[in-house]
Every structure is written in C-alpha cells, then in structure tokens.
Structure 1
Amino acid sequence: MFHPANFFDVAGIDVGRPLGDFATVWEILGSLPELVDTLLGSQRIIKGSVARTAVVDDGPVYIAENATIEPGVYVKGPAYIGPGVTIRHGAYVREACVFLDGSLLGHASEAKNALFLPGAKAPHFAYVGDSILGRRVNLGAGTKLSNLPIVGGRQPDGRRRSILIPAGGKQVDTGLSKLGAVLGDDVEVGCNAVLNPGVVVGPRSLIYPNATLRKGLYSAATLFKLRQTIDIDERK
C-alpha cells in the first residue's frame, strides 16, 4: 500500500540505496540522514556555480556540475545537490536534503530532511519539511508541507508521539514524529495550499489553490477541489 513503487517510477533512482528497496515511503524519510551520509561520506565537493553571496556551510556538501546556487542562498547541509539543480535566491537548504537531476528549490523557500526526485519543483515561498516530491511534482507559490502536528502531544518519556496515517480502515503507525507530505509523480499543487502532517498522495493528482488536506492516503489521479462563495456587492 505504501511501497515507493506505488507513488514513483523508482527505476534508476539510487539515493545511497535503490528507492525500490524500501518497504514504505516514510522509511525513506526516516533514513535520509544516513542516506545523505552514504552519498557524501565526509566529502565536500563543489563543482557547480555558487554565487559569491551564497553561503555553503563547512560540512559535507555535494554540488554537482551544472547545478546553480543563486545569490543569498544558505546551504546548511549536509546536502546532496545533483546535476542541473537550481537553488534560487534566498532559499534555505537545511539538513539531510537530496535534490536529484533538474529539481528546483525556489526563492524564499525552505527544505529540511526532504527528497526531490528528478524534475520536482518548489519554485516560490514554499516550505518542504520531512517530505518527498515525486518526479515532475510542482508546488504552487506559498505551498506549505507541514511536518509537525499542532496537537500531537508527547509520550510519558517526553518524546513526541509518532504520526498515524488513516488508511484501509485503520491507523498506520509511521514511527516518525515529524512527517510532511509524500507526493507521487506528476502531482500538481495550487498556490497557498496547506498539506497537514501525514498526507500521502498518489501520482497524477491535482490539488486546487488554497486547499487544506488532512492526513491520509489519497489515491492516484485524485482531484482536490476547494469551492467557496464570494459575495460581490456595491461599495457604499
């Protein structure tokens, strides 16, 4: 039900381990710090174009040939930034991010513990926390992939409770206290949409602007429409 192959074309995708080898999509997210370590080791390799006013921390970072880091970017890392990737002005790349071929993090956008598959784009004012964007996913301006429940609570030992995803008539325990969204290949999200922690959307789905999605598993090719009524009257 939650195997990566149900959401992505996994052929040829290796993030330190073939994507198809994972049992669930959230296992990928839970493993991202270790996967980035596998990809980078302790290396710091910068082959692409890094603007003079961009800041790349001293830790392990890989920036491939033909990758572009624009002015005002802050790469905290560790991070893997692959061929043809663009990180636009004012973006913030936090820990354990992997950007594969041709993906994009846009102006004033932030990514943390996130995997961008080839061609995935978060072009403007986005937050991508503990999330996976499938091939050719596009996030409209202002999209937020929230990763921490506001009322999640804590266990007796003080640890945050893990996120449960309703699916198949039961609650599936992800084992993760932080989990954003998993968006299958070719999902499109309209401007200012908010996806709550634990949203898992099948390929080729379309989410209308300003929509807010509750956690859960959503089938492929689903259309999420937000309808509202606007009264238009003469101003007195």
Structure 2
Amino acid sequence: MVTINELYDLDHTLAKEYLQRFTYPWEALKGIHDFILELGPTLKDYQEIQPQVWVHPDAVLAPTAYLGAPCIIGPRTEVRHGAFIRGNALVGADCVVGNSVELKNVILFDHVQTPHYNYVGDSILGYYSHMGAGSITSNVKSDKTLVVVKDKEETIETGLKKMGAMLGDHVEVGCNSVLNPGTVIGVDTNIYPLSRVRGIIPAHSIYKDAENIVSKA
C-alpha cells in the first residue's frame, strides 16, 4: 500500500519515467533537483522565463509569486499572489498553488490543489489530491532523527532526515491538518479537518482520528 505503483497513476505526471526507477516514493526525494535540471531543457512547449525555471505558456503567474530555481510549472496551472516556490518543485498541469503557499522539494501530479496557506516540503502529492486551507506537511522530526514510515504491522527505514507526506491519488486533506514526517496516505482517502496524522493511512478510508479510521466500502 505504500509503493509508487499502489499510490499513483504515473500517466499524470512528467515524472513518470523518473518515478519508475524506485519502489517507494520517498526514494525519489533526493534526486528531484537533478531530475528537474535534466527534464527542463527537453520540454519543447515550455519557456525558460529565468535560469532553470521552466513555465508553460498557458500557466497563470501572479506578479507577486516567487519561483525559485529549479522548478517546472505545467499548463493551465495557477500560481497565485504571495506563493513561494523555494525550488526543486515539479508542478503538473491544472494545479493551484495558492496565496501564501510554500513549496520545497516536491512533485505535484496534475490537478493537485494547494490553494490556501499550505506548506508542502519533501513530499509527493498524487493526481487530484487536495490540501485544505492551512494544512501542512511537517518534514523534520522534532528530535532530528531519521524518518521512519510505520503502521501497526510494518516499519520501513527511509534513511532520510527530511520527509514530509506521500499523498496518493484523490486524497482530500481537511483544513488545518498536520501531516507528520513519514505520513503516507492511500488513494481516495479523506482526512478530517484539524487532524494530526502519522504513519500509513489505508486507501479508500476516512481518517477521523488515529483510533477512528473507517473504510469507505
């Protein structure tokens, strides 16, 4: 339930061939920078509006948005006022990067929405996933130890000091929720507002709290 093939439809990202190199999505985090630098110059329909920043002509950029290199912004994506893209960001088609949103070392599949006051760092957000207003990914543990992905039955060492959240396709995260380091959320799962989420959350479920996760089936 935590592999790339289980979480994502790779036909909805420019990172398809890159992600196919790995088993787990967090394994791709270290190479996002170099991958974007390789991919950017090959994108025929994109414009390099500043060094190492490639933007599709159909994207809409607010004049107050900051686009740090390297990054790629896909067609019909809207980057709104006050957005802060720190770099190492691949943003797909038809996405929303909203006001006061900060992105850093991320892959956003097509149709991802981070519309209001979100921090998304060292994370991968699947097709049609949505971060409610004020929801964030926490990407560093308070004790600064390496992040571990775990649930009641499984523990996986990532070897990473920085890892936010892996959101499968069609995940809905409620407003003002915190996704703790190493969170993995399965496809078509809803997270209640004001949630504190940790570990592996099953696909096709509703997360009310850590002791109350119900199946949609």
| Residue 195 (structure 1) aligned with residue 169 (structure 2) | no
1:1-236 equivalence runs, <5 A: 1-11=1-11, 13-15=13-15, 17-41=17-41, 47=47, 58-152=50-144, 161-167=145-151, 169-214=153-198, 216-226=199-209
Query: Larger C-alpha radius of gyration, 1 or 2?
Result: 1
Gaps (5+ residues) in structure 1?
A: 49-55, 153-160, 228-236
Task: Calculate the TM-score normalised by the size of structure 2.
Answer: 0.88
Q: Deviations over 1:78-137 (max 9, x none)?
A: 101111111110000012000011111100110000111000000000000111111111
Q: CA deviation at 1:27?
A: 1.4
> How many residues align structurally?
209
Q: CA deviation at 1:150?
A: 1.0
Contact 1:16 1:35 in 2 (8 A): no
Taking only aligned residues, the RMSD between alpha carbons, in angstroms, comes to: 2.3
Contact 2:110 2:127 in 1 (8 A): yes
Report the CA distance shift for 1:42/1:119 in structure 2 as closer, same or farther (over 3 A): closer
Partner Cα separation in structure 2 for residue 42 and residue 18 of structure 1: 14
Report the CA distance shift for 1:220/1:64 in structure 2 as closer, same or farther (over 3 A): same
2:121 maps to a residue whose letter is G
Report the CA distance shift for 1:118/1:12 in structure 2 as closer, same or farther (over 3 A): closer
Q: Which range moves more in the overlay, 5-14 or 63-72?
A: 5-14
Contact 2:127 2:169 in 1 (8 A): yes
SS of alignment partner, residue 10 of structure 2: coil
SS of alignment partner, residue 165 of structure 1: strand
Task: Calculate the TM-score normalised by the size of structure 1.
Answer: 0.81
Partner Cα separation in structure 1 for residue 183 and residue 71 of structure 2: 24
Contact 2:111 2:127 in 1 (8 A): yes
Report the CA distance shift for 1:12/1:104 in structure 2 as closer, same or farther (over 3 A): closer
* Greater relative contact order (Cα < 8 A, sep 6+): 2
Partner Cα separation in structure 1 for residue 173 and residue 55 of structure 2: 27
Contact 2:14 2:92 in 1 (8 A): no
Q: Deviations over 1:29-49 (max 9, x none)?
A: 222112111112599x9649x
Identity of aligned residues (%): 33
Structure (1/2) with the larger helix percentage: 2
Partner Cα separation in structure 2 for residue 99 and residue 162 of structure 1: 27
Q: Which range moves more in the overlay, 32-41 or 201-210?
A: 32-41
